[in-house]
A and B are shown apart, each in its own frame.
Chain A
Amino acid sequence: MEIQLHPLVAMKLVLIPLLAAAVLFGQAVFGQGGQPADDTQEQATDLNVNSRYTVESVDLSNQHHYRLSTSILDEMHRLIGARLNDDAVKRLAGKIRGELRAHEVTFKLLRGGNPNSVKVLFEVETAQSNFDLSIPKFAYNSREGGTGVGQATARIGENAFSFAGLSDGDSLVERSTGIQAKYERLSLGSDRVSMGFEFDAYHEQYAGGTLSALASGVDASSLGAGAYRSRMNFEPSATFVLAAPLTLTIGFSFEQLQPQLSAAPSESANALINTLRYHQRWIDSDDTNQELDAGYNLRAATRSLGSDLAYTRHAVNVRYALMHDHQTIEFALVAGLIFGRAPLFERFVLGDDTTLRGWDKYDIDPLGGNRMVHGSVTYGYRIVRVFYDTGAVWDQGTTPEIRHSVGVGVSSGLGLFQKGAVLLAVAFPIRQGRAEPVFIAGMNF
């Protein structure tokens, strides 16, 4: 669906339903966090002798193991600076339990830094066995179509099994349709070490632009393999908590690429993989939350691992978010470079549902690039979001072209989707002469 409108008309058409949605969703979302009636609050606080103390901080033990929704974090935040409300703390423990599907969530009061203050620490006891169905990613882009991942997870003691079916037309040059199966041993002698085995199998489809570019021989010097019809991956790995919340994952990825011509021999891309990740969240007492997520990923395919293709791929990502009252500002930066001849699935793409939103990734580069840098700023007030993306993807030896886009939308955790943001947005690529709005809808991307 491609629409061509005058920018002002398009803006009006977009803003009116978005504001209506903001009013509608705003009531649903922010009404939930309301305080209890005065009489019950009075009664509950009287029961606990510690209700005379002020809450200095609220934390979750082993916080790096869990991901909590914004609404829960906001509720944790609201406790800080107020007198301890036993009833509110118990209710929050119940909500955390429900969201994390934990066996039990209890809380502990610790003495604060001042004589009249206490620290609240929630402790999560995970269920010995549970089963979960989820949609880790769902997105629709009016230019590139839909992307969806459905996942089933079973956990038995310290063993986690997951199986996912997906059709991803968003994050790579090609559309990958297939399965992902993973086993994880969550604790290997110590909570600081875990290990996993993953098996993936995909069927690949290509846009016409990509096939034409491959046929023309563009980028041939940096491309490690042509189009392949299927891809299989086996990936054993181990994760170490170096110093919480800093983790290091080390492993191998054995990829087998089946060329489109069945007579041609398959090619392998066997790589050593490393991921260093840091994720920290701070909840301050003055209505301010901060979150930092940073990672560095290295994939080094080498002939010593029996790989037909040899290359090294580096990627870094940093995301920082600051939330104050109902306002949010988020900065995100991703960058990457590839040395050697990497296959299509390793190449960098911009113009998807999270980068250069509004641009068509095939217009930017139908084969992706081996150099990429991208930055994004998002400002939010309640559930309304305004964003600006800028970045470039290019091949070594060529001149990068910086592109920009802006967009507006609504985003919030709602109902079943509490864990991730639901985003409805319209994005406009900034280029001279015309405005071509692209509609984006999705969750958890």
Chain B
Amino acid sequence: MQALLCLELLGLNASSEDLFVRRFADQIRVLAPRLHFLTGKSLERLKDGATVPFDFQLSIAAGFKNNFIGRPAVERFTVSYDVWEEKFRVVRLRDIRKSAAGLSAVAAESWCLENLLVPAAGLPADKELWARLDVRTVEPKELVSATADSGISIPALIQLLSRPPRPQQDHWTLESAAFHLADLKQ
């Protein structure tokens, strides 16, 4: 994690070995075993009983690395920590009924990625593809601006994630190695 943060500070992307792409039926999702965002100040706030939201964005590039195609998958997950059971709970804000509780920190992080899906349909089968994952903590001001009556506004979330993160905002960026759709493990 510290290595990842150092790379970020230097304006570099994390190693392509940190993000693995998998196909799940007609969806694409990612694994990031070395990504741990439930740390530092966020973890302190969680252990104090607060809810901490994180914004996720998964984008796919085709042909060359920065040629992002289609609409990225964006989600806001709100994490909380049970002060009695000492376990995490995650709620996917777009669909509030989707949640998981009784999780360890690693399991909570994995659950977020498992619920961040890009449809495989529409991705070119004949081109090299790259996946890029952006994770960031949510500023209190952004918490209000992206929340619509239904829980979360996807266009507002996309707009927020298109802006560079603020200096005080914890954020992580990971990229996968090049892959072809046909080669993906199920």
Contacts and interface: CB of A to CB of B under 8 A. Distances in A.
B157 to A, nearest CB: 16
A48 B48 CA distance: 12
Contact of B49 (A43, A47, A118): A118
Given A86-B51, A106-B50, A107-B49, A50 B96 contact: no
Interface stretch (A73-81, A109-117, A265-273, A296-304): A109-117
B83 A46 contact: no
Interface string B140-161: 0000000000010000000000
B83 A109 contact: yes
Nearest to B88: A49
B89 interface: yes
A106 B52 CA distance: 13
Range class of the A interface residue count: 10 to 19
Given A86-B51, A108-B49, A109-B49, A46 B82 contact: no
A107 B46 CA distance: 11
B138 to A, nearest CB: 12
B173 interface: no
A220 B101 CA distance: 81
Contact of A49 (B45, B96, B101, B151): B101
Contacts of A46: 91, 96, 99
A305 to B, nearest CB: 51
Contacts of A109: 48-50, 83
B37 interface: no
Interface string B74-114: 00001011111001110101001001010000000000000
Contacts of A48: 49-51, 80
Interface in A42-71: 43, 46-50, 53
B89 A49 contact: yes
Contacts, number: 51
Interface in B127-175: 151
Given A111-B84, A118-B83, A50 B49 contact: yes
Contact of B84 (A43, A86, A106, A115): A115
Contacts of A107: 48-50
A50 B82 contact: yes
A86 B79 CA distance: 13
A43 B96 contact: yes
B149 to A, nearest CB: 9
Given A43-B96, A43-B151, A49 B80 contact: yes
Nearest to A49: B89
B48 A106 contact: yes
A295 to B, nearest CB: 35
5 shortest interchain CB distances as A-B pairs: A109-B49, A49-B89, A108-B48, A49-B80, A48-B80
Interface of A: 43, 46-50, 53, 86, 106-111, 115-116, 118
Interface of B: 45, 48-51, 78, 80-84, 87-89, 91, 93, 96, 99, 101, 151
16 contacts: A46-B91, A46-B96, A46-B99, A47-B91, A47-B93, A48-B50, A49-B81, A49-B82, A50-B80, A86-B50, A106-B48, A108-B49, A109-B48, A110-B49, A110-B83, A116-B84
